[in-house]
Structure 1
Amino acid sequence: MGGTEESRSGSRGPSRRAFGGRVLALGGALMIGTVPGASAAPEPGPGAAGPAAHAPGGARRTTLRHGSAARAGLLPEHLDRLVADAESFLLPPPGARHPWYAGAVLLAGRGGTVALHRPIGMAVRYAAYDEKTDSGVELPADRQIPMTGDTVFDLASVSKLFTSILAVQQIERGALELSERVTAYLPEFGGGGKGDITVRQLLTHTSGFRAWIPLYEEPTREGRLRRLWNEVPAHPPGTAYLYSDLNLITLQLILEGITGRPLDELLRTEITAPLGMRRTRFNPPPSWRPSIAATEDARAPWSGLDRGMVWGEVHDENAYGMGGVAGHAGVFSTAWDLAVLARTLLNGGAYGDARILSPASVELMFTDFNTAFPGDEHGLGFELYQHWYMGALATPRTAGHTGFTGTSVVLDPTTDAFLVVLGNSVHPVRSWRSGSAPRVAAADHLARAVPVRPAHGRTAWFSGMANDTTATLTLPAVPHTARLSCALWWDTEPGTDAAHLESSPDGGTTWHPLPFTTAGDTPGPHPTGTVTGWSGRTWHTVTADLPEAGPSGTRLRWRCTTDRRYVGRGVYVDALRVLDPTGRPVFDEARPADGARIEASGWVRAED
């Protein structure tokens, strides 16, 4: 291991021998709506999981079926809005010339229920791209192919998750060590100053590799390997986060070396066959082509290879040059199969009677190893806490990945929810797509569909989830020294969006921060009167001592602010009370007359 990582972690880091000491923290959280029908079977202890292993003791883990939003414990109106928003991206957004995708398949669920599985738009719409007019050459209407729920997609970098799972399986079995140098498995890898790169750094994108190199320019496997062996890292290992395809290509070589089997065979025998993922594979056969979403009219200068409209073959140039089987790209799959994979991981590594990972291995995949690089949280293979595509589903334990072709999968262990958005956003050309707005919108709607139960009674005040807003919830003036008591629930984009408690001595002309304390999962003082980020998605009890009242009394308000980019699940306030020094309530929102005096701007009463 390199000295940099040793100095940061102070140890060799987790290995398979440390798995038994980890605690799996999956499933619903306190005060989040419960998941009807969720499995309560006890988990076995960690241990080596062979191919198609059965859950010990006859325990059968949750499997998926289609069902209603109510069965999934979701609010149906927000799933309807998810679809409506997704359909809006089939058209150019205001100020743009092109849509984000030609079509997509949307899948959302919770627990064992898939409550939304909806195709929109076209799987194959264009014959070519006309660079002179920056427009797509549309196929005749009778040759265009609409999306279906079973449309197969080129997953692009979502393929990295499969390679990562295969690696963690080998760690379980003792064939691979997380903290071992790559050169222990690939001696030739050490050229160019790469001798200290570890397996862990490959999985967390901290090896120092640059994003990619054009391996496809080499016509032979030997030539491609030579370029990889000679590659010089952009950063010393362990000193920076830099997302790189080369990490997973290297991991593929390790896996094939220690198992003696090619990656496509490992995928089939270790993951897809045990889980029944029959529409997931590298190099789909020609018979699948009518059910596959087309990608790009690949030609220079925007593509490294002149291939014309890519349809039924891998889009990524390096994966194509490697025969369609690569650690970083090349897997084709459907929304349903990806939901099965998501459910397996949320189950702790098992689906039905099959187990592909131990619970402790899943825990490691969802554990942030990149604490030295805030904003680039990463488990083993999985990205964590990324609002830029996870939207309001993002928590420190929310895991997922995106793919360049327009694909994404998000798993939220806190609410036991999962979201798959598969779009053909490079059809007919990669330059038409920008950002991740459809992914964020879908995630925001699914997050809103998970109800937050009021702390008391039937409703609670909700700040909403709009961007670039300020919402205020203002109490009437109280005439003397008193104490505020209320329940608070918050989940915001950390740092940029926040809830502020403020007081005014002059009837609301000026406002000042009011320090408060919370009791709950994140107890402690908040001396600036502000909370931001993730609070465990649970209710917290707030108390705050009011300053001396002015001539017009003291007014209190909660003020929530959001920026223009992303939002969390929002802020809820309930059971607002102001008590005098003797403990007598001088204001209690449960009393109709007091509740009617609250001034809400941007806040609404939510039943959820």
Structure 2
Amino acid sequence: MKRRTMSLVLVTAMGAAMMPGSTLEAVEGPSIEMEKKENPHASVHRPSFPASSWDHPLPSSPVLHPGSIRGAGMRSGPLKAIDPLIEQAIADQVMPGAVTFVARRGHIVQQEAYGYAVRYKDDAFTEIKSPIKMTEHTIFDLASISKIFTTTAAMKLYEDGKFKLDDPVAKYLPEFAANGKEDVTIEQLMTHTSGFTPWIPLYQVDGDRDDRIQHVLQYPLENAPGSTYTYSDLNMITLGALIERLSGMRLDTFVKQEITGPLQMNDTMYNPPAQLKARIAATEYQPWTERGLVWGEVHDESAWSLDGVAGHAGVFSTASDLGKFAHMFLMEGKYGGTRILEPETVELLTENRIPQFPGDDHGLGWELQQGWFMDALSSPSTFGHTGYTGTSIVVNPANQTIAILLTNRVHPTRETVSTSPTRRAFARQVADAIPVASSTKKAERWFAGYGDKLARSMTAEVDLKKAATLSFDTWYRIENTYDNGRLERSTDGENWEELEVFTGESDDWVHKDFSLPKDTKFIRFTYETDNAVNNRGWYVEGAKINKKPLDFDTNEWEKR
């Protein structure tokens, strides 16, 4: 995973270099030009990048700070489109309210609040007399994003030499060996490959917190350890118990001491005090737990039954605080002058530890390359997580970008529309705000666009009289195998011969040359997508036949 860090002095110098008139100025428009290599026929262009384009960001500030879109090397249009996107989701009753947070290279470029933090008093959508509006400082129940705090806390103990990843859990929690779990390793807990079932109704188990934790530790496996990937709350409840056993502290105390305290994440906590209730987004009306409207305490029933402190859920936070946590990971475990993790530990947390389960890429806690909520920000190195209450975080290291969407979508009931399409659309706008550099300074550039079930073509009539060479440059980040770009030729405009399929990722801008027979009358570029997930897309630039630019008669692509 490539990461870039820099001193504050260098940040200042780079900031000065990006003032208007500088050759390093980040442009606001829809494309970024870059110098072309001396050999235009090389298979891969590797020019210099005078602006902070896709996969080539300038170095990051060591801390987050309010910044300009220009300074972040982003485009304003896609970021401005976030407002109507979230407002429409609220109008469609996807959620009552939301807070968004976008940062790149340490520049906070978008942070907005929408809708209501508290609006209803029951699951019949009966409005309260004085609804509370969402603010940028609203505190959210993060739900399963709490799992990342648990794995990060565990890795603090790992750094202290308290355990090895391949150690059996039962080495430190002997009671865990019950019911055939003696071989489950600590890493298998963190990667959800232990064999546990997804969840159990722990709140229905009699007893106190200790009794319920022991119930989990005694619980049998559903599958053999290491044989399957099954996302499970029981893994993280067990990991939380391990942290408590090894540290001698309750999980909330350890997390505050080792993570949130040093990072000055002052609005991040388990069991927020009553005086903060007015700042907290309400969640669900739960008559089955006899709690009524859950507001100011953890939504998850099992975490609630564990006194609000559990490895799988329980953390409350704001978008700003969560941004600090994410930026610490981008800065290889350091935020400003405060080091939380060693760079090697960050790599363990954010690299794919289970390649044997393709499609379920997972670090130690972090989910990787999950297009269903990361969309166009997704890449092999992108990490993130979601929470059942409607929260999500996406971190794209190659672009030094953080995208956080916090909602209260379970308010007043979980029986609502899925938040995932909104998560995808939000991530897509953030990704589209990061410009793709041009391969040349003068050639026309076309972008296939975004969307589900697309079939977009651009066609040129060429009517060759003799054999010729088609040449162009292309750049693509296309969902591998599920979405495809195709280059085709035809002798009659009805029957098409496939020349090449483009899917997956190109290595920057790639130069292509194709020999065309003399009977070629049409050339067509077609982009097709499935019904879910887009990556950053497909660009074609400088398409020519025998060095003469192509004139596309039919074009459904966007000129960028």
Q: TM-score, normalised by structure 1?
A: 0.81
The one-letter amino acid of 2:196's match is F
Q: Note the 1:124-523 alignment, pairs <5 A.
A: 124-130=118-124, 136-140=125-129, 143-217=130-204, 218-300=206-288, 305-457=289-441, 459-477=444-462, 478-504=464-490, 506-514=491-499
Write the distance in 1 (CA, Å) between the matches of 2:465 and 2:527. Answer: 25
Residue 111 of structure 1: how far off its partner (Å): 0.7
| Residue 521 (structure 1) aligns with | none
| Residues 33/447 of structure 1: CA separation in 2 closer, same or farther (3 Å cut) | farther
Q: Please say which of residues 168-177 and 148-157 is displaced more in the overlay.
A: 168-177
Q: CA RMSD in A?
A: 2.0
Q: Please say which of residues 597-606 and 423-432 is displaced more in the overlay.
A: 597-606
Q: Per the alignment, in what secondary structure is the counterpart of residue 274 of structure 1?
A: coil
The one-letter amino acid of 1:162's match is F
Deviation digits for residues 521-577 of structure 1 (CA, Å, limit 9, x no counterpart) = xxxxxxxx21212335x212223333x322xx3432221111222211110011223
| Residues 117/568 of structure 1: CA separation in 2 closer, same or farther (3 Å cut) | same
Residue 299 of structure 1: how far off its partner (Å): 1.8
Deviation digits for residues 308-350 of structure 1 (CA, Å, limit 9, x no counterpart) = 0011001111111111111110000000001111111111111
| Residue 528 (structure 2) aligns with | 561
| Residue 542 (structure 1) aligns with | 512
Deviation digits for residues 336-366 of structure 1 (CA, Å, limit 9, x no counterpart) = 0011111111111111100101112112222
Write the distance in 2 (CA, Å) between the matches of 1:600 and 1:168. Answer: 56
Q: Per the alignment, in what secondary structure is the counterpart of residue 480 of structure 2?
A: coil
Write the distance in 2 (CA, Å) between the matches of 1:341 and 1:471. Answer: 40
| Residues 568/33 of structure 1: CA separation in 2 closer, same or farther (3 Å cut) | farther
Retained in 2: the 8 A contact 1:211–1:244?
yes
Write the distance in 2 (CA, Å) between the matches of 1:288 and 1:222. Answer: 28
Write the distance in 2 (CA, Å) between the matches of 1:315 and 1:443. Answer: 25
| Residues 333/63 of structure 1: CA separation in 2 closer, same or farther (3 Å cut) | same
Retained in 2: the 8 A contact 1:473–1:600?
yes
Write the distance in 1 (CA, Å) between the matches of 2:554 and 2:492. Answer: 16
Residue 157 of structure 1: how far off its partner (Å): 0.3
| Residues 35/484 of structure 1: CA separation in 2 closer, same or farther (3 Å cut) | closer
Write the distance in 1 (CA, Å) between the matches of 2:53 and 2:424. Answer: 23
Q: Per the alignment, in what secondary structure is the counterpart of residue 399 of structure 2?
A: coil
Q: Note the 1:520-599 alignment, pairs <5 A.
A: 529-535=500-506, 538-546=508-516, 548-550=517-519, 553-578=520-545, 586-589=546-549, 595=550, 597-599=551-553
Retained in 1: the 8 A contact 2:59–2:105?
no
Q: Note the 1:94-109 alignment, pairs <5 A.
A: 99-109=93-103
Deviation digits for residues 86-126 of structure 1 (CA, Å, limit 9, x no counterpart) = 1101122xxxxxx1110000111101111000000000001
Write the distance in 2 (CA, Å) between the matches of 1:549 and 1:198. Answer: 64
Q: Per the alignment, in what secondary structure is the counterpart of residue 84 of structure 1?
A: helix
The one-letter amino acid of 1:588's match is K
The one-letter amino acid of 2:160's match is R
Write the distance in 2 (CA, Å) between the matches of 1:440 and 1:382. Answer: 18
Write the distance in 2 (CA, Å) between the matches of 1:386 and 1:33. Answer: 28
| Residues 268/229 of structure 1: CA separation in 2 closer, same or farther (3 Å cut) | closer
Write the distance in 1 (CA, Å) between the matches of 2:324 and 2:555. Answer: 42
Residue 510 of structure 1: how far off its partner (Å): 1.0
Retained in 2: the 8 A contact 1:111–1:416?
yes
Retained in 2: the 8 A contact 1:364–1:380?
yes
Write the distance in 1 (CA, Å) between the matches of 2:4 and 2:542. Answer: 27
The one-letter amino acid of 2:195's match is G
| Residue 50 (structure 1) aligns with | none
The one-letter amino acid of 1:510's match is N
Q: Per the alignment, in what secondary structure is the counterpart of residue 139 of structure 1?
A: strand
Residue 453 of structure 1: how far off its partner (Å): 1.3
Retained in 1: the 8 A contact 2:57–2:399?
no
Retained in 2: the 8 A contact 1:284–1:312?
yes
Identity of matched residues, %? 38
Tell me how many residue pairs correspond in the alignment. 515
Retained in 2: the 8 A contact 1:192–1:229?
no
Residue 229 of structure 1: how far off its partner (Å): 2.9
Write the distance in 1 (CA, Å) between the matches of 2:254 and 2:552. Answer: 61
Residue 78 of structure 1: how far off its partner (Å): 0.5
Residue 27 of structure 1: how far off its partner (Å): 5.0
Retained in 2: the 8 A contact 1:466–1:562?
yes
Q: Per the alignment, in what secondary structure is the counterpart of residue 244 of structure 2?
A: helix
Q: Per the alignment, in what secondary structure is the counterpart of residue 475 of structure 1?
A: strand
Residue 222 of structure 1: how far off its partner (Å): 4.2
| Residue 17 (structure 1) aligns with | none
Residue 32 of structure 1: how far off its partner (Å): 10
Q: Please say which of residues 361-370 and 110-119 is displaced more in the overlay.
A: 361-370
Q: Would you say 1:25 and 2:9 are equivalent positions? A: no
